[in-house]
Chain A
Amino acid sequence: MAAYPQEYRYSKEHEWVKVSGNKARIGITDYAQQELGDVVFVDLPSVGDTITAGQPFAVVESVKSVSDVYAPVSGEIVAVNDHLSDSPELINQSPHDEGWICEVEMSNPAEVDELMTADEYQASVKSEAE
């Protein structure tokens, strides 16, 4: 199992958040990409969209299923990883880095505190797999 970066925060719906200042980069976790299998399409949000914590904002499609991606934090989207349009496999190859989905300007940075730490997430994933 890939290491979960210590500086990220994680949601129970298997998204990660990398915070820098008021901005948060969002993607799905290694566990999520393994569960999905080979990703074949990502329905990306657009820059300027507003997303709300707990609500779906993107769709990841694999050979076996189509899954919503839930916003771990609220805010306005300021950047989108356009590479995913042509290379959705980045999510499988590099879920925590090159497979990032979007970046938001957070409207309520306190939401980050409610997310799990890497250790907490790892423990929750382990219990889910059992």
Chain B
Amino acid sequence: MSSTNQGADGAYPLLFERSVPGRRGVLPPATTVPVAWNPERLPASLRRARAPLLPELSELDVVRHYSGLSQRNWGVDLGFYPLGSCTMKYNPKVNEAIAALPGWQRLHPYQPEQTVQGALQILFELERDLCALTGMAQATLQPSAGAQAELLGLLLIRAHHQHHDPAHAARRRQIIVPDSAHGTNPASAAAAGYEVVQVRSNDRGLVDVKHLKELVGPQTAGLMLTNPNTLGLFEEDIETIAEIIHAAGGLLYYDGANLNAIVGIVRPADMGFDIVHLNLHKTFSTPHGGGGPGAGVIAVTPPLAPFLPGPRVEYDAAKNQYHWRAAGPWTVGRLREFYGNFGVLLRAWAYIRSLGAEGLREVARTAVLNANYCRAKLQDCLEVPYADRPCKHEFVASAREVHRRTGLHAQDLAKGLLDRGFHAPTVAFPLIVEEALMCEPTETESLQTLDAFVDALQQVVHLAYTQPDELRTAPHRAPVGRLDEVLANRHLKLRWLPDPPATGPTAEGPTP
């Protein structure tokens, strides 16, 4: 077994492939206490026939494995990535410092209220701050992540209809989403049991109001919308859209994916939204990579508040005390145990409090300015649809012309960027723009970084016309070269299996 971070075929070996039979990280002393554990006490159906196939490694093997991986990784702490707030903003280190304070680290969810007043105050203030920024009345911080919050938003829509018009609630089976929507919207609506109906975008890249009017009716449960939308354009007809949905008896759900563009400037409540979804890793700069934990928030107008999950924190001014208040009788119920991912919520609180109201406004203004700057500089080399007006925090360029003249795709340009020290932008999304390259620089990037990024993209486009073959096989200077995505998708390998099949332990898991 190789002790380096390079396998024979050039691939990075897995922990399983580094395994050596009998090797251990820790050797505990023999116990002097009689062993009470008796597997015979478990029903046979719950017992493994074979030991699980776990890698056998020393501590140092494992440290080197992960340190090696981290050196091959790319993140915003290393350089610019144009995926923007939608993926994850830069996380200011002060948030981390605050979340690392021992008082927070040692909290236990079963502690009595009097001993966790500080934590309750954080949750209370965060809810108030997020409500102030969205114009909503109440919020729940409980959802484990954005997807769970999205599901909750839809459950609230259903609860609202069932409560106010139980006889016809079942008829309201449709959720409308724009054709530029994030894929999560139709996915969540379908998971909540709704039928998904798509409203078209018009030639200005906005919701086609005429088409929306044709789609709504007594079957409409609600509309899910981001504003600004996925093209980075502000939905100028939002008030008309809200009127149409409300007149049909439906509710308006705001997907907070693009709140970074408008935070502190305009509130979703004032646009007519009833439910606001916030993914705290987006606008509020909480960690997100590596599978979480995340934090999703759902904020609502007063009529929807009684349906929220509980408990929520309340403040008793007379006693100057914070306390838990259980959910009311109309609640849709809990989404998880306890109170949400507190460590993540704490970072969002720290972010909001360190910037203040004016600082948050400056975030939105700078994010929008940076996007417009890049877009203007890129228009010489790439088509940018809908550039007749300023964009918000992001813009979508099209490599259609490059594709027509060279056969290369937006993805090839993206791979070329990797060789120039930049992460790729989102490609092939939104689907309504051909050969899309979606760029969101965010507010944290300097003028020099933005210039360097635009230069790199211009170089790549130039390369497409002069040496297309180099891009076809890019990246050449990244830790791994061009991956065969088609092969990977057609022959899914979701877990490692020994090759050839080992005798003795296998990775088959428990045997029934």
Interface set of A (CB-CB < 8 Å, partner B):
37-38, 40-41, 61, 63-65, 88-89
Contact = CB atoms under 8 A, between A and B. Distances in A.
Contacts of B431: 65
A118 to B, nearest CB: 24
A41 B428 contact: no
Q: Is the interface of A mostly helix, strand, loop or mixed?
A: loop
Nearest to B400: A129
B428 A38 contact: no
Interface stretch (B242-250, B294-302, B484-492): B484-492
B428 A40 contact: no
B413 to A, nearest CB: 14
Interface of B: 409, 411, 427-428, 431, 485-486, 489-490
Contact of B428 (A61, A64, A88, A89): A64
Given A38-B485, A63-B486, 8 more contacts: A40-B489, A40-B490, A41-B490, A61-B489, A63-B485, A64-B428, A65-B431, A89-B490
Contacts of A89: 490
A86 B151 CA distance: 34
Nearest to A129: B404
B242 to A, nearest CB: 29
A40 B427 CA distance: 18
A91 B428 CA distance: 20
B180 to A, nearest CB: 13
Contacts of A38: 485-486, 489
Among the interface residues A37, A40, A61, A65, which one has the most CB atoms of the partner chain B within 10 A?
A40
A89 B489 CA distance: 11
Nearest to B434: A35
B167 to A, nearest CB: 28
Contacts of B486: 38, 40, 63
Sorted nearest first, the 5 A-B pairs with minimum C-beta distance are: A40-B489, A64-B428, A38-B486, A63-B485, A40-B490
A65 B489 contact: no
A38 B486 CA distance: 7
Contacts of B411: 64
A125 B112 CA distance: 68
B67 to A, nearest CB: 32
A41 B491 CA distance: 10
Contacts of A40: 486, 489-490
A40 B485 CA distance: 9
A88 B487 CA distance: 11
Nearest to A64: B428
Contacts of A65: 428, 431
A65 B435 CA distance: 12
B181 to A, nearest CB: 13
Contacts of B428: 64-65
Contacts of B490: 40-41, 88-89
A55 B331 CA distance: 36
A88 B431 CA distance: 22
A116 to B, nearest CB: 21
Contact of A41 (B409, B427, B485, B489): B489
B76 to A, nearest CB: 25
Nearest to B428: A64
A117 to B, nearest CB: 26
Nearest to A67: B431
A61 B489 CA distance: 10
A22 B490 CA distance: 35
B21 to A, nearest CB: 37
B430 to A, nearest CB: 10
A38 B411 CA distance: 13
Nearest to A38: B486
A86 B431 CA distance: 27
A82 to B, nearest CB: 16
A40 B486 CA distance: 6
A64 B490 CA distance: 13
A92 to B, nearest CB: 9
A63 B428 CA distance: 10
A66 to B, nearest CB: 8
A41 B409 CA distance: 21
A63 B414 CA distance: 15
Nearest to A92: B486
A120 B183 CA distance: 33
Contacts of A63: 485-486, 489
Contacts of B489: 38, 40-41, 61, 63
A52 B396 CA distance: 36
A89 B486 CA distance: 10
B436 to A, nearest CB: 10
